[in-house]
Amino acid sequence: MSVGHALAVTTHGDSASPSGAPAVAARTGSTGAGEDRPAPTGDDTLPDALTSLRAAIGAARFPLALPSAELAARTVAALADQLDDYLLPRLARLDAPLLVVVGGSTGAGKSTLVNSLVQARVSPAGVLRPTTRSPVLVCNPADSAWFRRGELLPGLTRTNQPGDDPRTLHLVTAPALPPGLAFLDAPDIDSVVDANRALANQLLAAADLWLFVTTAARYADAVPWELLHGARARGAVLALVLNRVPAEATDEVAAHLAEMLAEQGLDAAPLFVLPETWVDGQGLLPGRSTAPLADWFARLAADAEARAAVVRQTLGGALALLPPTVESLALAVDEQVAAADALDDRVRAAYRAANRTVEQGLRDGRLLRGEVLARWQEFIGTSDLIRTLEARIGRLRDRVMAAFARRPAPAVELRDAIESQLVTLLRGVAAEAAEHAYTGWKAHPAGAALLEGDLAHHSADLPQRAERLVRDWQRSVLELVRVEGGDRRFVARTAAYAVNATGLALMIAVFASTAFIPTGLEVATGAGTTLAGQAVLQAIFGDQAVRTLARKAREDLLERVTVLLDDEATRYLIRTRQVRPVTRTATALRQAAERVEAARLRSGFADATPVLSAATTGVDAPMTDGERP
Ligand SMILES: Nc1nc2c(ncn2[C@@H]2O[C@H](COP(=O)(O)OP(=O)(O)OP(=O)(O)O)[C@@H](O)[C@H]2O)c(=O)[nH]1
Ligand SMILES: [Mg+2]
């Protein structure tokens, strides 16, 4: 009975060659096709362009927890592997032996098939699933030096012993295998063992040709189809083995699989249908069962042009996929930058609001209340201040003197009241800003992931820093009075007490500032202010020189507050800074991809068209029960 389709390789236009050899069209490079292409944007070679791309990819990070980040990180890892494992070494040695990676579900009979094809038990097959955990590479002794050198799949340590370590590659030679072709028996692609699965994917990306092995029982599984899609998308050369097909089901199963392949656009790949059979004492399949496959590979091995064409197609497909893949990475980097910006904006908005609240507090006179107001009134009730004021309020001073009992100057108390009023304000705005920044981040997926530590509140030492800030400011106000007010009429040049008193008055002026000066005292001082208090303030603020100093003192205070709040905001901003992509990461990726694309178009790999296609030929009928040993 003739069952299935098998090998056959056709060329473009040519029907299967008379000899039945895998008449694969060898592409002839770029000559002839170059005229129609856009002008190249650079003149570097593909290996150079790929090396730059490798560097750009190596620098890409996606630490912000965005929906795109996980896939991007996986793509980076896969691309980096593909460049290191396959593209760079393969481009450097286009004539190196063809690597056939044998991949598929566990128990599909991959190891058994490889052993049978090379006529030696090079890879243990077994009943324990999964059996193959560490890849085994088998080649003709003449090719072993190339694979041993470790340019291909450099991350796998070469060994001469079988083992279980997925980071090793067991190298075996088999004289029965012709030179020019090597088989790599891979762990299963849908393994329950994570490391197996990851390794299988990595190995497939390093294949010149993927021999996909499935069984009558497993061919409809989802995972292999995903991988097959990936292989098709990459334009990788693919051949399929439908293994262990029971005689009675052959037609049905082979037809169904062929239908599925056609639906997925994979019908160009050669499909070999192998009958269910017995393995011999060595664990090898009978020669007649594997003969079509063995012949096909033998002809491929013997045909250097065909092998070169396979390499060109797989390479060309992988290279063509690089620019769009790298663009997806650049977009993911853009998203990281945008998210970092958005998070920073939330923090900055929270602290800008805090700054504004302080500014407003200074403008609307709300600070000139309670304790500060009481202490101020007490203070101006003493002669210290009054004596320092200019003569034009001398008469007023007399009245004030009369109104207030003479007491020791409560300057210290006023200063303390100003300090505590300001510190309370600063603590309040810092607490509020922290809360806003915190909730702003919490609501953002990438922000929530960054919120470790106590970021819901102002920093623990903020009260102390705020106190220090106010005291420093007060000192600087006195300094201002000393330096700038030294030659003004309202300060007695040498009197320390006068400096002190004027300084305190200036601080009050800062508290009252704009609301006070243009609109009058009632706004700022509110009810309960004594006539004397108002009058003195008016006298003070009526003076242009004092107003100028008050403005300076106010600006000084606001600058200090900005520094304090900036420090608070830094607690958040430092986190985004740590994870923010380095400037130009996305640009570097895009430029590197452009260089690769330009070099690819010049190289001729862009012209690769499918070199292997299916044709229906006879294949051995499944063994009957009577033929089984
Ligand atoms: N009867 C029969 N047994 C087979 C055939 N092919 C494989 N086996 C047996 O099936 C079991 C699994 O085969 P393996 O070759 O180890 O399968 P594998 O695909 O390499 O499995 P993993 O390494 O786990 O991915 C072994 O016990 C083989 O002897 C076959 O065609 N007929
Ligand atoms: Mg195996």
Q: Where are the domains of the chain?
A: 66-331+605-627, 364-581
CB of 283 closer than 6 A to ligand 1? yes
Instruction: Read off the pLDDT of each residue in 483-506 and give the average, rounded to a whole number.
Output: 62
CB of 123 closer than 6 A to ligand 1? no
CB of 124 closer than 6 A to ligand 1? no
Which residue did the predictor score with more confidence, 588 or 615?
588
Question: At residue 250, does pLDDT exceed 50?
Answer: yes
Query: Which residue has the least CA distance to atom 1 on ligand 1?
Result: 278
Which residue did the predictor score with more confidence, 91 or 497?
91
Mean of the per-residue pLDDT values of the chain: 81
Question: At residue 548, does pLDDT exceed 50?
Answer: yes
Q: Which of 472, 469, 466, 468 is nearest to 431 (CA)?
A: 466
> Which pLDDT band, with edges at 50, 70 and 90, does 617 fall under?
very low
- Tell me the pLDDT tens digit for each residue of 178-209: 999 999 999 888 877 777 788 888 999 999 99
The confidence score (pLDDT) of residue 400 equals: 43
CB of 105 closer than 6 A to ligand 1? no
Please give the torsion angle defined by the CA atoms of residues 476, 482, 487 and 488, in that order, rounded to the nearest 10 degrees.
Answer: 60
How deeply is 19 buried, as exposed, middle or buried, from its count of CB atoms within 10 A (0-12, 13-18, 19+)? exposed
- Tell me the pLDDT tens digit for each residue of 369-399: 788 888 877 776 654 455 455 444 444 444 4
CB of 214 closer than 6 A to ligand 1? no
> Which pLDDT band, with edges at 50, 70 and 90, does 277 fall under?
very high
Cα separation, 45 vs 54, in Å, equals 14
281 CA distance to ligand 2 centroid (A)?
17
Instruction: Read off the pLDDT of each residue in 334-352 and give the average, rounded to a whole number.
Output: 97
Are the C-beta atoms of residues 110 and 186 closer than 8 Å to each other? yes
- As given in the structure block, the two tokens for residue 537 are 């303030």
Q: Which amino acid is at 516?
A: F
**Which of 21-25, 199-203, 318-322, 333-337 has the weakest average pLDDT?**
21-25
Are the C-beta atoms of residues 332 and 62 closer than 8 Å to each other? yes
Cα separation, 628 vs 276, in Å, equals 10
pTM of the predicted model as reported, rounded to 2 decimal places: 0.78
Question: At residue 36, does pLDDT exceed 90?
Answer: no
- As given in the structure block, the two tokens for residue 48 are 């150079």
> Which pLDDT band, with edges at 50, 70 and 90, does 547 fall under?
confident
Question: At residue 450, does pLDDT exceed 50?
Answer: yes
State the closest ligand 1 atom to the C-alpha of 278, by its place in the atom list counted from 1.
1
- Tell me the pLDDT tens digit for each residue of 142-163: 999 999 999 999 999 999 999 8
Cα separation, 204 vs 200, in Å, equals 6
Q: For 66-331+605-627, which CATH superfamily applies?
A: P-loop containing nucleotide triphosphate hydrolases (3.40.50.300)
Which stretches of 246-393 are assigned E, i.e. beta strand? 271-275
Query: Among 102, 110, 111, 112, which residue has the most ligand 1 atoms within 8 Å of its CB, making it the best to mutate?
Result: 112
**Which of 230-239, 325-334, 518-527, 563-572 has the weakest average pLDDT?**
518-527
Which residue did the predictor score with more confidence, 607 or 160?
160
> Which pLDDT band, with edges at 50, 70 and 90, does 473 fall under?
very high
CB of 419 closer than 6 A to ligand 1? no
Question: What letter would DSSP give residue 543?
Answer: -
Strands 168-173 and 181-185 turn out to be unpaired
CB of 215 closer than 6 A to ligand 1? no
The confidence score (pLDDT) of residue 82 equals: 94
Question: At residue 326, does pLDDT exceed 60?
Answer: yes
Strands 209-215 and 98-104 turn out to be parallel
Looking up tokens 């030179």 gives 179
Query: Among 111, 192, 293, 627, which residue has the most ligand 1 atoms within 8 Å of its CB, making it the best to mutate?
Result: 111
The confidence score (pLDDT) of residue 126 equals: 84
Looking up tokens 């040498």 gives 494
If one counts every other C-beta atom within 10 angstroms of the C-beta of residue 554, the result is 21
- Per DSSP, helices labelled H in 404-530 are 411-442, 445-448, 462-484, 496-519, 521-525
Instruction: Read off the pLDDT of each residue in 238-255 and give the average, rounded to a whole number.
Output: 93
Question: At residue 113, does pLDDT exceed 60?
Answer: yes
Q: Which of 181, 139, 130 is nearest to 158 (CA)?
A: 139
Q: Which long-range contacts (CB under 8 A, 24 or more apart) does 19-23 make?
A: 20/299, 21/299, 21/302, 21/303, 21/306, 22/296, 22/299, 22/300, 22/303, 22/306, 22/612, 23/303, 23/306
Q: What are phi and psi of 608, to 5 degrees?
A: -55, 130
- Tell me the pLDDT tens digit for each residue of 393-431: 444 444 444 443 344 457 788 899 999 999 999 999 999
The confidence score (pLDDT) of residue 426 equals: 97
Instruction: Read off the pLDDT of each residue in 133-145 and give the average, rounded to a whole number.
Output: 95
CB of 529 closer than 6 A to ligand 1? no
The confidence score (pLDDT) of residue 629 equals: 35
CB of 279 closer than 6 A to ligand 1? yes
The confidence score (pLDDT) of residue 611 equals: 59
**Which of 84-88, 157-161, 222-226 has the weakest average pLDDT?**
222-226
Q: Is 456 helix (H, G, I), strand (E, B) or coil?
A: coil
Q: Which of 260, 269, 319, 336 is nearest to 10 (CA)?
A: 269
Question: At residue 15, does pLDDT exceed 70?
Answer: no
State the closest ligand 1 atom to the C-alpha of 185, by its place in the atom list counted from 1.
20
Which residues have CB under 8 Å from 359's CB, separation 6+?
Answer: 558
**∠ Cα 120 122 128 (to 5°):** 115
> Which pLDDT band, with edges at 50, 70 and 90, does 498 fall under?
low
Instruction: Read off the pLDDT of each residue in 453-482 and give the average, rounded to a whole number.
Output: 93
Scored b (16 or more CB within 10 A) or e, 357-368 reads: bbeebbbbbebb
State the closest ligand 1 atom to the C-alpha of 108, by its place in the atom list counted from 1.
19
Looking up tokens 């243009």 gives 518
Question: At residue 524, does pLDDT exceed 50?
Answer: no
pLDDT cut 90: percent of the chain above it: 57
Which residues have CB under 8 Å from 57's CB, separation 6+?
Answer: 76, 79, 80, 83, 326, 329, 589, 592
Cα separation, 185 vs 171, in Å, equals 11
